Chain A
Amino acid sequence: MWCVAVAAGSFRRYATYRVATVAGVFTNTVFGFIVAYAYLALWAERPHLGGYDRAQALTFVWIAQALLAASALMSGGGLDELQERIRTGDVAVDLYRPADLQLWWLAADLGRAALQLIGRGVVPLTVGALVFPLALPGDAATWGWFLLSVLLGVVVSFALRYLVALASFWLLDGSGLSLISGLACMFFSGMVLPLRVFPGGFGEVAQLLPWAAILQVPADVLVGARGGDGLVRGLVFQAAWGAALLALGRLAQSAATRKVVVQGG
């Protein structure tokens, strides 16, 4: 299957950026410490904020750092490249292939995410676990659910970024939109603070938005904040957003390829 080859190729490709990976690991770890101490101060003042105890809150911090690159919490991922290809017209080359554009980039993004989960996720989480008392699960099943939830989160993240990238077919320069979308993701995924911390209607709405599927749900699965049918509901919530956004991406894609003047040459 060519999708597997695309994902594998993408994985290998990101594996060649070794210096970037090392630099990323260093940055994630440093930021993990900074945010962890900020959370410690906050939770000392307000224990059980958002229903998380201190260990769970610290775990949330390190999960966010571990998923930052893989789930593209702040921006881009590999889709900046698609945006650039649309801007320069190189996307025409992609359209000559007997392959679906969305499927191609989804496969490439999953390959990238797998590499970055291993390359940039494991070390920060391990460092965090060695220095701070984290609430990591001891059973393999919870880790399995967590990984499934991360996978669904990456799909949702991809589907959103794909839509943003496709907007370049209509906008001459999509960088403004990318910036806004990156900021929205950073906040509404729960990376700044877990969404449950926000009181009232705002918190509830934020937990229903697609960005919540990217970090909030996987992190809750890992720290055990989703007991009983909460786990299943979380996964269904992610899958539903993933399916809806991918479908929207397909619509945008067919509209784009139908109307669009591929720019240049």
Chain B
Amino acid sequence: MRTETAGGGTVAGDGAAAEPLIEVDGVEKVFSVRRRAGRLRRVRQEVRAVDGLTFRVPRGEMVGYIGPNGAGKSTTVKMLTGILTPSGGRLRVAGIDPARERTRLARRIGVVFGQRTTLWWDLPLKDSYELVRRMYRVPDPVYRANLDRCVELLDLAPLLAVPVRQLSLGQRMRGDIAAALLHDPEVLYLDEPTIGLDVVSKAKVRQFLREVNAERGTTVLLTTHDLTDIEQLCRRVMVIDHGRLVHDGGLDALRAAGEGERTLVVDLERELPPLEVPGARTVRVEGPRQWLAFPAGRSAAPLVTAIAERYPLVDLSLREPDIEEVIARLYAGAHGPAPR
């Protein structure tokens, strides 16, 4: 089996001081699927959606949880919220076994799905919030304070009286996020919270999440395909593939683990054949501009000196490895032979 912490441990205080709010120990989920095999025969086949997953999330941390489609992200979240029962292993959220006490846990968590809404489609946004207040038995002052905060930070004031079906996607998303926070949840699960949003809406949502995490200490588990979300919000990122963690650590560690390359872009005085510099290779030439790739772990300084000494250098810039590329490589690498 592959190492579970390719990037060398977690970033935010995983020490004894921080109490783990989410504990996942060797959790498995096996689905039994029936397949056609011939005209009438059906064959039962086991699909391991989650396979020996282990991690801890301390209170107040904001963790990115990423992986390709079908990797087991949603299954994990469903087990963490108690709507799926794990086939094996141990799982605790705020000390509660989710599958056994789903309703009790539900009062302490918030869930936002980018592609589904919890709001009442044909009624004004405000009605959905009133319902949340009653359903979660939120005390009046708390409700008022939380609602005011959300309304202010998410610009909801003009939307409160508007039926949800008339909201734009970005507005609806903001409305959904507010609905998930009115009862002061300890954990917030976000599943693609910025999917389909424009740049401004994305920024607004991210800023709000940062503030909630910083001020309320709300623990956040963020599932997304938009890596900018992760880069801007999370110091720790867990990567899952085929039901297993292939990385658990900081973004920098992830870049290093992906064996990424940095790129030096040099502008020369005139067009030249591809430069030959030790420790780097020229990957692209376009007129007087050339792109040189070198390992992410090495310093760019000697390279720059070497080029400046030998070639007519006008300008240069340095590009960090693209996190998407790193992850694409990680996904591809994780497909190697694994004991089943």
Binding site for B on A (CB under 8 A): 1-2, 5-6, 9, 12-13, 16-17, 89-90, 92-93, 95-100, 257-258, 261-262, 265
Contact = CB atoms under 8 A, between A and B. Distances in A.
**Residue among A6, A16, A92 having the largest count of chain B Cβ atoms under 10 Å:** A92
Given A6-B131, A13-B122, A257-B83, A98 B116 contact: no
Interface string B112-143: 01011110101100010011001110000000
A13 B131 contact: no
B interface, over-half SS:
mixed
B203 interface: no
B27 interface: no
A12 B128 CA distance: 12
A9 B107 contact: no
Contacts of A100: 103
A97 B135 contact: yes
Interface residues of B, number: 30
A5 B134 CA distance: 8
A2 B78 contact: no
Contacts of A262: 78, 83-84
A interface, over-half SS:
loop
| Nearest 8 pairs of A and B residues by beta carbon | A98-B106, A2-B134, A2-B135, A95-B83, A96-B111, A13-B122, A5-B134, A98-B107
B102 interface: yes
Contact of B123 (A12, A98, A265): A12
Contacts of B83: 92, 95-96, 257, 262
A5 B31 contact: no
A96 B123 contact: no
23 contacts: A2-B131, A2-B135, A5-B130, A5-B134, A9-B123, A9-B131, A12-B123, A12-B127, A13-B123, A16-B163, A90-B116, A92-B78, A93-B116, A93-B118, A96-B81, A96-B111, A97-B106, A98-B103, A99-B135, A258-B85, A261-B84, A262-B83, A262-B84
Given A92-B78, A98-B107, A9 B115 contact: no
B207 interface: no
